[in-house]
Structure 1
Amino acid sequence: MTAAGVDVVGVCVPRERTREVWEEWRGRHGKTGWWPYVTLDSPTQMARGRRESRRDVWVVEELVGDAVSQDHDARAASMLVSACRWAVEEVANVDDDLESWRADYDPARLAPSLAPAVEQPQQGVSQWATDPRAFLRQDSRWVHFVAVRGSYEVPVLLPSVYGTWNWCGYGDRCLTPLDHSAILRRWHEQWGAELFFAMGSYLELVVDRPPLDPQGAAQAAAELHAYCLDTVHDPVETGDTMARSTMWSLWWD
């Protein structure tokens, strides 16, 4: 149990069985209410995290209520605007073509640069949960279970589950648990994205219905670019690849 009263149950499984166990318990979420996610820390290690120990029970209850009632589409859109403004005002040089910078965050401008619609999504592969080369080749993973309505509530209940470190440079703004919840809920509703792996600055989402057409892929690529510039450097490439894939792997430097 975290200091804020959040219960986390975990089981250690062989790395090669991680996806199988996660899929099985994801399918049971509707009956159990417990959402599984994969990580490397034990539940005890996670519960003792610095950010977990600073919150009271009433703060968690208030945040969960806000996460349920907030306009997650509007909040996600504001993150896109903040990232675009930061890029244009703080990163772009005076001699740069600012319109090309803005195009990275504008799906309507990005879509014509993407490949035509495809019939089937690309089958994504986990980089960190199941790859034997990841994280010092550890042979096991932890599958944690948290009682939530949907996986998008996990960052609210467990703010140290992963961290978007470089977002603090976006106009001195740091993303809050409600920001993370908003973008994950939007991606869940739009494309069936679900929290799969979370650890430190690493995040992976299993995406059941990734966008296959240029407009949808452009929307996803622009939002992925804004959310994780460290991984998504080129929105055009991302719109043709990861955005249309069943696995989104993100990493913040």
Structure 2
Amino acid sequence: MTDLDDIEGALDGGFLAGLTAAHGPAGTILVADVDPAEVLQTWQAAYALVGVTGRWPVLVADEWSAVDPRPDPDPRQPGPRELTTLDDAARTVDPWTRFRRWSDEDGPATADEVPGYARGYHGIDLGETLLQQAPVPSTGADLDHWIYDRVLADPELEARVRGRVGYAVRTDYWFTPSGVTLVLLPTADPWLAAKWISFYGAEQNERELAAVLWQWHGRWGAHLVACWGTMLQFTVERPPTAGNDAWAAAGQILGLAGNLSMTRWELAAALPGGTAWFIHNRP
């Protein structure tokens, strides 16, 4: 759908009634004056219309782009061949050779470093007896996994960890800028949003970002909601289950979110209990 009257007609059917659409850059449609307090509700309403508009919705900060006065179609809009190439890359590229957490690449840890891994970022005390059992020398990633297994083996401890870090998988943890614009992308495929959004953590890595979005969409029903430049926000239809599934998701999230202050074992413990992801990667 490209006609502005048709777009506004679709929006007028519910929560988005009264909002005005305008042509944006590269084939997008921009819907301004979104209430920053209603980011999730706005996205949900626009997502419900994807079958009508054929456009995936993403919320961005107002400074993302001024309204482009050029008529539609915009000559800068990616052509079918360009999008087909990106779609092929999304399905075949391994993004995790590019997006890796530093602790997954470090050398052996020492006994002195074990308490630092076990405390994480949120002051969870795993107890001296448990720490004395930790395998050393071991890499940071292996220590994280060992600690995570210990947490899962103790339901009371697992509940305490989730209580401390559960905020990270709720929408009330999301960032909200002062001004918000709804962008309707000229594609219904959410992984192709990598062609239009600008995320600091994936600069010059469009193909890899598309692959991340494709994998997360297929495996966990992770839907891109917003891009704030250094942040991405997702709703998640099928949260990972405790164990290997959550461990894999935590590693991938932290590989992309270099500024999410959380150990992998903390995040893995929290993921099954939430339906929202927050990715933060800044200079």
Q: TM-score, normalised by structure 2?
A: 0.63
Which of 223, 237, 250 is the matching residue for 1:194? 223
Q: Distance in 2 between matches of 1:9 and 1:104?
A: 47
Question: In the alignment, is residue 19 of structure 1 matched against residue 26 of structure 2?
Answer: no
Q: Any gaps of 5 or more consecutive residues in structure 1?
A: 48-55, 168-173
Q: Distance in 2 between matches of 1:46 and 1:234?
A: 41
Taking the TM superposition and a 5 Å limit, the aligned residue runs for 1:125-204 are: 125-128=171-174, 134-135=176-177, 138=178, 140-156=179-195, 158-160=196-198, 162-164=199-201, 176-204=205-233
Letter in structure 1 aligned against 2:240: P
CA distance 1:38–1:112, shift in 2 (3 Å): same
- Figure out how many residues of one structure are paired with residues of the other and give that number: 218
CA distance 1:18–1:233, shift in 2 (3 Å): closer
Letter in structure 2 aligned against 1:125: T
Q: What is the Cα deviation at residue 189 of structure 1?
A: 0.3
CA distance 1:67–1:141, shift in 2 (3 Å): same
After superposition, the C-alpha distances for 1:42-63 in whole angstroms (9 at most, x for unaligned) are: 563387xxxxxxxx85976554
CA distance 1:232–1:240, shift in 2 (3 Å): same
Q: TM-score, normalised by structure 1?
A: 0.70
Q: Distance in 2 between matches of 1:196 and 1:100?
A: 35
Q: Distance in 2 between matches of 1:94 and 1:127?
A: 32
Letter in structure 1 aligned against 2:200: G
Aligned to 1:50: none
Question: In the alignment, is residue 112 of structure 1 matched against residue 141 of structure 2?
Answer: no
Question: In the alignment, is residue 247 of structure 1 matched against residue 247 of structure 2?
Answer: no
Letter in structure 2 aligned against 1:163: Y
Q: Distance in 1 between matches of 2:91 and 2:46?
A: 26
Aligned identity (percent) is 15
Q: Distance in 2 between matches of 1:93 and 1:103?
A: 9
Q: Distance in 1 between matches of 2:275 and 2:49?
A: 20
Contact 1:231–1:250 (Cα < 8 Å) also in 2: yes
CA distance 1:222–1:232, shift in 2 (3 Å): farther
Contact 1:111–1:217 (Cα < 8 Å) also in 2: no
Aligned to 1:34: 55
Aligned to 1:69: 88
After superposition, the C-alpha distances for 1:57-86 in whole angstroms (9 at most, x for unaligned) are: 597655422221136365134335xx26x6
Aligned to 1:226: 255
Letter in structure 1 aligned against 2:98: M
Q: Any gaps of 5 or more consecutive residues in structure 2?
A: 1-23, 69-74, 114-135, 159-165
